[in-house]
Chain A
Amino acid sequence: MLALLVAFLAIGCGPRASQGKALDRLRAAGVLRWGADIQGGEPYVYDDPSQPGHLIGFEVELAAALARELGLRAELVQNDWANLVPSLERGTFDIVLNGLEVTASRTGRVLYTHPYYVFAERLMVRREDTELRADLGSLRGRRVGTLANSLAFEMLRGTAEPVVYDGVEEPYADLLSGRTDAVLLDDIIATRYGATKPGLKVLGDLRDGYYAIAVRPTEPDVKEAIDLALGHIAASGELKRILEASHIDNERQARLVTWSAADQAAMLGQPLPPPTFNRGHVVLFLKGAGITLFLSVFAMVIALPLGMLLSILRMYGGPVTRRLAGAYVEVYRGTPVLLQLYLLYYGLAPVLKLGAITAAIIGLGMNYAAYEAEVYRAGMQAVPKAQLEAALALGMPLPLALRRVILPQAVRHAIPNVTNDFIALLKDSSLVSVITVVELTKQMTITAVDVRSWIGPGLTCAALYFAMSYPLGILARRLEKKLEGERDESEAAPEAAPS
């Protein structure tokens, strides 16, 4: 099965253009497909607020100018930012042009053109903060927000505790609410999304960095052509005009006009060989699996009693509680758990500042409670009505009858389904990465981008999920069989059924 998968992945590896032919291919198609993520927001690539559906931003302008220089038409391909390089490698688009920072680990995997922007890694903290200084050392052990697989992420890793986000607004919101101690991100982002918050202040810039276009290593002719075109655009003053229009031009950009081969070599530095998938990663994966299991177990600890309460209210409550419990179940089942997690973590932050793990457990627990309520309801309905009436007729108050007669049997009926739901929860728990929890799946995607391969990390991740869920699956089937056996027996008993 493994061999088959590898073969399949090898076939799907995208265009393997022979040297020098790539540019011809682009010219024949007449299109320069550039990969970017619209979620990166203003001023890179974003929806024109006055004309929704129409994309604007300095990278849109730049892509158009480059395409024009090359005699092509620019076409944007939307792609999740953290996976731009893997998508480039598999041929989803021709170039990456989207605030892609030049990093040592990426230098080995893509060809970088000359840079089109010089940025600074800007450290922001809360206004009242007096402890932190503008150097990496002072961040030791601190929670620092940034984007996954960014230059800042690489800088922080090993010193601080990086807290990774997918969007640019959330890191600053969390800093403001005290969930993190600082945010390290490119100055463009810091200016637009951080400095606009009165509760935050700029501590300083840690280093310069570069945005450059990434090209597949097998296509140096495309890189040469883009370098030439960029040179024209910079020399003619068009690049400056584009940057000015987005209010991001500054004295640092002057270097771009006179960019030399020596500058390029200095920018790239010593390329680091891409790390291979190793034992250290497996340890991280095991940690991720531990977090997945931890989240799932505690979410279930919330879901089971809450689900039982809901099902009891729904079946035996008064008209109002009955309707409220029904509404809870329908709302939670009828909306995406992803949205529920967002609202709980970011939406409630101004009034209720939950930690990421706490929010993840509560969010998943409250969602699964809706499903468990239905499972218990089915279990209660499976208990013959005569038993409840017999209990009441013996003088048991309803709560006592439920506790002694109905629930013990309903729970037994529910066990196989609860086990199946727990298996589903193990996998659904991967959704909590949107609120900065790094569990097994998120660890896998971070590692896969690092080591340039999805096979090792993907299979390891799959094996770990399987190792957690398979024994539970067997358990669920056994319990189901056992219950079925009991039911058969009771049906086979003489005269048990009414004539």
Chain B
Amino acid sequence: MIVVDHVTKRFEGRLVLDDVSLTFARGKVTAIVGASGCGKSTLLRCINGLERHDSGRILVGELEVTQAPTTLHRVRREVGMVFQQYGLFSHMSALANVMEAPRSVLQLPHAEARARAEALLEKVGMSHRQAAFPRELSGGEQQRVAIARALAMQPSALLLDEPTAALDPERRVEVVKVLAALAKEGTTMVIVTHEPAVVGVADVAITLQRGRMVR
């Protein structure tokens, strides 16, 4: 469970999150919608500590999110994140991208990390391209690998920041399918999106307007 409690965040004096309070329940999919610049992405980035919130509290399970390095690492292992721009490591194959964190962060043996990565690539329908480098993949394919990469850390929740915004309509479908399958399995997800099809996957939709919630 993720609890956002009276959180406020300013960027150079501009109020981006204005006293936001929310609870994301385990096993539920929440869509956050709203106009560009309404603070949706900032909210996600505050939850996993990529941004520091100014006031209020954010709890991931029992953990309160702070900028202390040890806390940050524990929080980030609890919540995976998928970015609009994928952020795949250019110098690694799809398989190596998914294996990287289990190997270097969790220190899993090679065989175990590989088995986990192959299973996840299978799940997102990318087994056939596991040797390909990001530059050889389409945007939709890259995003599916990025989802597999986030899942490889076995997080208790997944944060997705406009996961389909950079894709062509026909490529969005493949990503939405993957999201729907994950929702069916009971994966906790918070998805920032503009995409009606993605909102359709969610159990709850929340609207943010100028940094405030307007359910």
- Residues of A whose CB lies within 8 Å of any CB of B are 383-384, 386-387, 389-397, 400, 404-405, 408-409, 412, 486, 489-490, 493-499
- Inter-subunit contact B91/A412 (CB<8 Å): yes
CA distance A405 to B76 in the complex (A): 17
CA distance A364 to B105 in the complex (A): 39
Name the interface residues of B114-164: CB closer than 8 Å to any CB of A: 134-140, 142, 146, 149-150, 153
CB distance from B58 to the nearest CB of A (A): 15
CA distance A495 to B139 in the complex (A): 5
A396-B104, A495-B138 given; A384·B91 CB < 8 A: no
CA distance A489 to B171 in the complex (A): 20
- Inter-subunit contact B137/A493 (CB<8 Å): yes
List 29 A-B residue pairs with CB atoms under 8 Å apart, sorted by A's residue number.
Answer: A386-B85, A387-B90, A390-B87, A392-B50, A393-B50, A393-B76, A393-B81, A393-B150, A394-B80, A394-B101, A394-B149, A394-B153, A395-B101, A395-B153, A396-B104, A404-B89, A404-B100, A404-B104, A405-B89, A408-B91, A409-B90, A409-B91, A489-B135, A490-B135, A493-B135, A495-B138, A495-B167, A495-B168, A498-B84
Given contacts A486-B135, A493-B138, A497-B166, 19 further A-B contacts (CB under 8 A): A387-B88, A387-B89, A390-B81, A391-B89, A393-B50, A393-B76, A393-B80, A394-B153, A400-B105, A404-B89, A405-B89, A405-B100, A409-B89, A489-B136, A494-B138, A495-B171, A496-B139, A498-B165, A499-B166
- Residues of B whose CB lies within 8 Å of any CB of A are 48, 50, 69, 73, 76-77, 80-81, 83-91, 100-101, 104-105, 134-140, 142, 146, 149-150, 153, 165-168, 171
CA distance A486 to B105 in the complex (A): 29
List residues of chain A with CB within 8 A of the CB of B142.
496
List residues of chain A with CB within 8 A of the CB of B100.
394, 404-405
CA distance A389 to B87 in the complex (A): 8
Pick the residue among B83, B135, B167 that contacts A390 (CB under 8 A): B83
Pick the residue among A383, A391, A392, A495 that contacts B140 (CB under 8 A): A495
List residues of chain B with CB within 8 A of the CB of A392.
50, 76
CB distance from A239 to the nearest CB of B (A): 78
CB distance from A408 to the nearest CB of B (A): 5
A493-B138, A496-B135 given; A397·B73 CB < 8 A: yes
- Inter-subunit contact B139/A494 (CB<8 Å): yes
CA distance A400 to B85 in the complex (A): 22
CA distance A384 to B84 in the complex (A): 13
List residues of chain B with CB within 8 A of the CB of A497.
166
A404-B100, A405-B89, A495-B138 given; A397·B167 CB < 8 A: no
CB distance from A357 to the nearest CB of B (A): 38
List residues of chain B with CB within 8 A of the CB of A412.
91
Residue of A405, A495, A498 contacting most chain B CB atoms (<10 Å): A495
- Inter-subunit contact A395/B76 (CB<8 Å): yes
CB distance from B163 to the nearest CB of A (A): 13
Please list the 8 inter-chain residue pairs (A to B) with the smallest Cβ-Cβ separation, ordered nearest first.
A495-B139, A390-B87, A386-B87, A490-B135, A393-B81, A394-B101, A395-B76, A386-B85
List residues of chain B with CB within 8 A of the CB of A386.
83, 85-87
- Inter-subunit contact B101/A397 (CB<8 Å): no
- Inter-subunit contact B101/A396 (CB<8 Å): yes
CA distance A498 to B101 in the complex (A): 26
CA distance A412 to B137 in the complex (A): 21
List residues of chain A with CB within 8 A of the CB of B77.
395
Q: Which residue of A lies closest to B83 (CB)?
A: A386
CA distance A397 to B89 in the complex (A): 16
CA distance A386 to B143 in the complex (A): 13
List residues of chain B with CB within 8 A of the CB of A396.
101, 104-105
CA distance A395 to B75 in the complex (A): 8
Q: Which residue of A lies closest to B106 (CB)?
A: A395
List residues of chain B with CB within 8 A of the CB of A395.
73, 76-77, 101, 105, 153
Q: Which residue of B lies closest to A494 (CB)?
A: B138
List residues of chain B with CB within 8 A of the CB of A384.
85, 87, 90
List residues of chain A with CB within 8 A of the CB of B91.
408-409, 412
Q: Which residue of B lies closest to A393 (CB)?
A: B81
List residues of chain B with CB within 8 A of the CB of A498.
84-85, 165-166
- Inter-subunit contact A495/B48 (CB<8 Å): no
Q: Which residue of B lies closest to A387 (CB)?
A: B87
List residues of chain A with CB within 8 A of the CB of B48.
393
List residues of chain A with CB within 8 A of the CB of B146.
390
List residues of chain B with CB within 8 A of the CB of A408.
91
- Inter-subunit contact B88/A397 (CB<8 Å): no
CA distance A489 to B167 in the complex (A): 18
